[in-house]
């Protein structure tokens, strides 16, 4: 079953974040993932949620998403992101319907 990583990102250091953004797509693809949302305009309809940047990734499974997040390929980029931005990240299984 597909799984999704959903991230809300507040960029603190745009130049450093660009270094992260250039390197991360190849690591995502290596684990079977792909971007569904990568930035773009946000149109908040309800509540107090108005994120600066949203990211949604799709992976073949929750296990594969977790492997990517804990991978040696992603680790140095994760360290960069943590310096360049404040983030809220979660992973969730898709709907099997």
Q: CATH number, domain at 53?
A: 3.30.70.100
Q: What does the pLDDT read at residue 96?
A: 85
In a domain, 40, yes or no: yes
Whole-structure pTM over 0.75, yes or no? yes
Using the predicted structure, report yes or no on whether residue 6 has a pLDDT greater than 90. Answer: yes
Q: What does the pLDDT read at residue 46?
A: 92
In a domain, 15, yes or no: yes
Looking at the structure of the chain, the number of domains it has is 1
CA distances from 71 to 27, 28, 47 (A): 9, 10, 35
- 5 and 74 Cβ atoms separated by less than 8 Å: no
Joined tokens for residue 36: 């569904």
In a domain, 97, yes or no: no
Q: What does the pLDDT read at residue 50?
A: 86
In a domain, 79, yes or no: yes
Domain of 45 in residue numbering reads as 3-92
Could you give the CA distance from residue 5 to residue 53 in angstroms, rounded to a whole number?
A: 14
pLDDT digits (tens, 9 = 90+) for 33-85: 999 999 989 888 999 888 999 999 999 999 999 999 999 999 999 999 999 99
Q: What does the pLDDT read at residue 97?
A: 82
């Amino acid at each position: 079953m597909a799984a999704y990583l959903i991230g809300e990102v507040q960029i603190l250091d745009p130049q450093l974040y660009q270094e992260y953004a250039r390197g991360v797509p190849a690591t995502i693809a290596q684990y079977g993932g792909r971007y569904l949302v990568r930035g773009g305009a946000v149109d908040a309809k309800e509540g107090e949620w108005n994120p600066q940047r949203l990211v949604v990734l799709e992976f073949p499974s929750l296990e594969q998403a977790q492997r990517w997040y804990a991978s040696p390929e992603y680790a140095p980029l994760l360290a960069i992101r943590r310096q360049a931005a404040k983030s809220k990240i979660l992973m969730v299984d898709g709907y099997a319907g």
